[in-house]
């Protein structure tokens, strides 16, 4: 290890003592790609709150909190493109399940991108209902035309079903239609 003489010449000050551990460019011995930041495995909504706090603490400890400032750059074009993907997604012969899961993934990305504040007032209840209707319409619009009769029946119900219930109903119908439509090629 390289050493520098101090003023007296009798003691040595190592270069290690001159390191700035607060420097964002400092690499700690545990800053490798193979080591997990936290030992707690994320299990979804079950433990997200605890996992999130542990992850933020681990990042803060390693002076890596600037990740958000570097990569969390959301502008109108990102929001626009994601919303365009949601509204232009169609089933195109894929299974109802595959179509629904692609759409659901886009909805989750959009909801995470928007980051609306949570409130417990009546306006929030109205917003949740409105958002549910929007998602239902987006799901129904992208379905193949073979589902037009069931789509019409669902739209005539009062109150309208939520998108999960609609997905379940359409999935059951798919088993009736699939033998009829599987004869056709959907690759072109």
What gap in Å lies between CA 164 and CA 10, rounded to an integer? 76
Read off the pLDDT band of 111 (50, 70, 90): confident
* Lowest-confidence pick of 23-27, 80-84, 127-131: 23-27
Would you say residue 24 has pLDDT above 70?
A: no
* pTM of the predicted structure, to 2 decimals: 0.60
Predicted pLDDT of residue 10: 46
Please give the backbone phi and psi of residue 13, each rounded to the nearest 5 degrees, phi first.
-110, 120
Name residue 13's beta-bridge partners: 4
What's the pLDDT score for residue 25? Answer: 59
pLDDT exceeds 90 at position 138:
yes
Average per-residue pLDDT for the chain: 79
pLDDT of residue 182: 47
CA gap 61, 66 in Å, rounded: 12
| pLDDT tens digit sequence for 27-50 | 666 666 666 777 788 887 777 778
Residue 103 has pLDDT above 80, yes or no: yes
Q: Report residue 4 as tokens.
A: 């520098």
Please, is 187 exposed, middle or buried when counting C-beta atoms within 10 Å of its C-beta (0-12, 13-18, 19+)?
exposed
b/e 145-161 (16+ beta carbons within 10 angstroms → b)? ebbeebbeebeeeeebe
């Amino acid at each position: 290890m390289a050493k520098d003489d101090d003023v007296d010449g009798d003691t040595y000050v190592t270069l290690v003592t001159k390191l700035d551990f607060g420097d964002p460019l400092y690499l700690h011995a545990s800053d490798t790609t193979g080591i997990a930041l936290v030992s707690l495995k994320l299990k979804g909504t079950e433990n997200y709150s605890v996992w999130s706090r542990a992850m933020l603490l681990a990042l803060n400890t390693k002076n890596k909190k600037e990740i958000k400032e570097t990569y969390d750059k959301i502008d109108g074009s990102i929001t626009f493109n994601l919303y365009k993907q949601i509204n232009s997604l169609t089933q195109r012969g894929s299974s109802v399940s595959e179509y629904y899961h692609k759409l659901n993934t886009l909805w989750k990305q959009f909801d995470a991108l928007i980051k609306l504040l949570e409130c417990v007032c009546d306006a929030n209840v109205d917003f949740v209902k409105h958002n549910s209707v929007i998602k239902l319409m987006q799901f129904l619009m992208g379905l193949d035309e073979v589902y037009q009769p069931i789509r019409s029946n669902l739209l005539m119900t009062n109150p309208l079903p939520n998108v999960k219930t609609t997905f379940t109903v359409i999935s059951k119908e798919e088993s009736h239609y699939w033998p009829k439509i599987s004869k056709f090629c959907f690759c072109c």
